[in-house]
Structure 1
């Protein structure tokens, strides 16, 4: 990822003795000389915690063939994307997709391997890099390696709770968020050269091509950087940095976007990713439920408390610019999560870098004798400081698979039975459609969807999607159509089923199987 090569020097030892051993250096804000004191005292990172937790989360991923049955609707569609692309289909055109082009290209690579384990490997890499840079940030702000260690554990626990099973695009965006936040921290301390903004722009492009909504960090940071450079009279540097960022951004956009251009899906990709994710709707029926879940998550995670403590900490004049960036980006993400008509708990993963950074930035500093700068107490306990509420999040980790097994066990069994029937009574190139809340039937039967929108739920909330599903099914390209009785049929779809399909008795109660006449 970006900037790793800059931080593998053995001189990065987090030691107060090194800080006191030399004369403090002062640099004029207008000089291009780097802050050597900041660079010499950057915290070292620990690989082992990130390695162990990334491995554990990747083993528990639904990309693990033994756990694929636990995949929810979005996860099953993400896995289906790799299967469909491996046989020649394109995202956005042949099937509806809300993640970025680069994310689907990762799924495509996994599909070429003819196993879902490829996604688990990519997820491991993403979580491993994210954990390393997260540890750097926590150690820098808290001035305590022990605090960084415990917060790293909580980061992975929260990812496991909000994104159980993995393969969400928001997880793959985490390393780019972490590296860019760390880049901004160093820049505001005059610890990086302006040329490094090329890598910063590359980060922005990569995250945009994976999980478009996370680009909000770079939008907010641009405004803060304008103020930062303006107050110091760095107008020429600001222009140079903007050009470097733009160069890095376009370098990736043009490279990855070439695939969308060749596949002639550029317009559809923009509509389904950028417009779909950035569009806001505060009038939906689910908005109160979304606000309730989001409010509860912020409360029990401690992020709500961290947010207000960070606001109060502005008076100490420490880390003003990075605090401003994180607070505004955090608020922007909240607005777009609430305004998203298709809320999913996995969207909360994108809040984790901000929430934990706000936990350590406003920590009370304790002045110690013979120290030029205050140290944060190493006795900081995130669980205790959050009134032990994060334990509720930990309870949610085993709750999801248990609920899936207990509440939807019969439905999962019926999906397996119908998928087996379809596989035995159709050719490999046959098309089917699952009027369902999961794409599992496609995966288990190894058959492609006849519709671009893979499942009826949760995509029936717009007139455009209803028209698209009706149009696709009325073309009668599906040899079999599976209907979940709990999901109401559209009138146009129901009429076509009665006219062109017949019901088969396969011994299922929750699902109906229709075969083309």
Structure 2
């Protein structure tokens, strides 16, 4: 019987047996081969389906349209954090700018493809360590890409570009806990932390807060208290080696203070009361239940675990819980806010589904289970993941072609009108739900905050927007009828602007007198 067993199946059986025999130990298992073709095809698919694709650009969210504008404007000499408001890290915007210089949005999408590919490599290694089955690891990889596609529909979010560094850092922690990495490796770990911070600051701060607490507890438990101080210094050295050379860019262009202020905006904008809590509760509550995050939190702790798995369980649980609670109180809504939760959710999911499969015993049951792990994930969550994914992918199309029908064509008409009636040096403003007007008209924004429907969670930003519009007096202001006007803006439009003769149903276009 075993003589006729396929070679790959025999290898997986041997590794699974090894995994079971060492269940109570922290034994590190290196995967035999990485499915590079699968990783590349998934990464390519997600990048082709990004809003960098001109056929899908109209489906972009407000944040995606602002990210696209940032790269385009920086290529024309605008300064991030100075002329453009942004809460992502400097390295993310520099990559965006570099992409705009070479082949535009296509290059930026190619960078995302590379980021997803590298993230998949590290995720495969992590999941294989937890499940000891290659087919199961590939299924978890497919789930990762599917959920990234759904939560981050259209792509190009900074969280996606941070994935390879998050997974790389988690993989290092796994190697350290199993004794495969030394304390010297924390210099590189600190460098990875700086890269995460320079791409997605929110994810970085949460990740390293949990890392500090996890290593503190682990070193006390393992009686390595002296190692903790050395690790802290090593992390700081590695962080500094990357952060200061890159951060000096903001010092040179005079935007360092603005950069710190804008990066901290998500924390400053947290509101623990208000109407946004109801919407957030419905959206994020529905998603964490629908995608099985809540069930996975519970189920991942239901099986015995060795020291490595217990470390990852606690680490991933607290990191994902903090991130979920964080987005519940943010005034800026969007399913993409849950993207940083994915790495930690998938680790917990791997423990739940992967370990429960191993517990069933028997070579044939293992192989059969590995081929149906996605079905198990869906069935164990009452098929709610299918509904959640259908909603996440379908809503942008419904919003664009049903709920907002006519807005896109009128926005293009306004952009063409502005382009033909203004000079290249004139600046405009879009009082709108998207920043698409700027690139469509070929005109820069007059103020750093590109639209009034994002980054308005603090009184400081609301005042800054009003004052900036008063001081800069854009040549044209396009007003979306569905976006409420502030009293100060109404007064400014009445005193300094006149409505153009362009006939629009969803907008009003104003020209400076």
Identify whether the pair has TM-score above 0.5, normalized to the shorter chain.
Answer: yes
CA deviation string 1:330-357 (max 9, x = no partner)? 1111121112221221011111111121
CA deviation string 1:33-92 (max 9, x = no partner)? xx9x625x4453211221111101101111123322222211010010011111111111
Q: Distance in 2 between the 1:340 and 1:175 partners?
A: 25
The SS at the match of 1:319 is helix
Is 1:447 the counterpart of 2:443? The answer is yes
Cα shift at 1:369? 8.0
- Structure 2 equivalent of residue 4 of structure 1: none
Q: Distance in 1 between the 2:36 and 2:344 partners?
A: 22
Choose from 132, 139, 160 the match for 1:150: 139
- Structure 1 equivalent of residue 28 of structure 2: 38
Q: Conserved in 2, the CA contact under 8 Å of 1:460 and 1:466?
A: yes
- Structure 2 equivalent of residue 436 of structure 1: 432
- CA change 1:43–1:272 in 2 (3 A) is farther
Choose from 478, 482, 492 the match for 1:482: 478
State how 1:56-67 maps to structure 2 within 5 Å: 56-67=45-56
Q: Distance in 2 between the 1:116 and 1:152 partners?
A: 26
Is 1:457 the counterpart of 2:453? The answer is yes
Q: Distance in 2 between the 1:139 and 1:269 partners?
A: 39
State how 1:84-233 maps to structure 2 within 5 Å: 84-113=73-102, 115-215=104-204, 216-233=206-223
Q: Which runs of 5+ in 2 are unaligned?
A: 1-9
Q: Distance in 2 between the 1:55 and 1:262 partners?
A: 36
- Structure 2 equivalent of residue 387 of structure 1: 382
- Structure 1 equivalent of residue 462 of structure 2: 466
Q: Distance in 2 between the 1:19 and 1:158 partners?
A: 27
- Structure 1 equivalent of residue 411 of structure 2: 415
Q: Distance in 1 between the 2:288 and 2:394 partners?
A: 20
Q: CA RMSD in A?
A: 2.5
- Structure 1 equivalent of residue 6 of structure 2: none
Q: Conserved in 2, the CA contact under 8 Å of 1:144 and 1:377?
A: no
Q: Conserved in 2, the CA contact under 8 Å of 1:43 and 1:139?
A: no
Q: Conserved in 1, the CA contact under 8 Å of 2:177 and 2:308?
A: no
Q: Conserved in 2, the CA contact under 8 Å of 1:14 and 1:44?
A: no
CA deviation string 1:112-148 (max 9, x = no partner)? 2262112101111111111121222222212222211
- CA change 1:395–1:369 in 2 (3 A) is closer
Is 1:366 the counterpart of 2:359? The answer is yes
- CA change 1:124–1:340 in 2 (3 A) is same
The SS at the match of 1:358 is helix
Q: Distance in 2 between the 1:105 and 1:387 partners?
A: 43
Q: Distance in 1 between the 2:464 and 2:227 partners?
A: 49
Is 1:507 the counterpart of 2:503? The answer is yes
CA deviation string 1:463-498 (max 9, x = no partner)? 222211211111253111111111121111111111
- CA change 1:316–1:128 in 2 (3 A) is closer
State how 1:247-326 maps to structure 2 within 5 Å: 247-277=237-267, 280-313=270-303, 319-326=309-316
Q: Conserved in 2, the CA contact under 8 Å of 1:178 and 1:353?
A: yes
In the alignment of these two chains, the number of paired residues is 490
Q: Conserved in 1, the CA contact under 8 Å of 2:429 and 2:477?
A: yes
Cα shift at 1:513? 0.7
Q: Conserved in 2, the CA contact under 8 Å of 1:99 and 1:273?
A: yes
Q: Conserved in 2, the CA contact under 8 Å of 1:44 and 1:136?
A: no
TM-score (norm 1): 0.89
* Deviates most, 500-509 or 392-401: 392-401
- Structure 2 equivalent of residue 73 of structure 1: 62
- Structure 1 equivalent of residue 318 of structure 2: 328
Q: Distance in 2 between the 1:317 and 1:134 partners?
A: 20
Q: Conserved in 2, the CA contact under 8 Å of 1:481 and 1:513?
A: yes
Q: Conserved in 2, the CA contact under 8 Å of 1:188 and 1:322?
A: no
Q: Distance in 2 between the 1:354 and 1:498 partners?
A: 51
Q: Conserved in 2, the CA contact under 8 Å of 1:431 and 1:449?
A: yes
Q: Distance in 1 between the 2:156 and 2:16 partners?
A: 42
The SS at the match of 1:432 is strand
CA deviation string 1:299-347 (max 9, x = no partner)? 1111111101123346776621121111111111112111222122101
Cα shift at 1:239? 2.3
Cα shift at 1:272? 0.8
Q: Conserved in 2, the CA contact under 8 Å of 1:367 and 1:375?
A: no
Q: Conserved in 2, the CA contact under 8 Å of 1:134 and 1:152?
A: yes
- CA change 1:217–1:44 in 2 (3 A) is farther
- Structure 2 equivalent of residue 9 of structure 1: none
Q: Conserved in 2, the CA contact under 8 Å of 1:161 and 1:394?
A: yes
Q: Which runs of 5+ in 1 are unaligned?
A: 1-12, 30-34
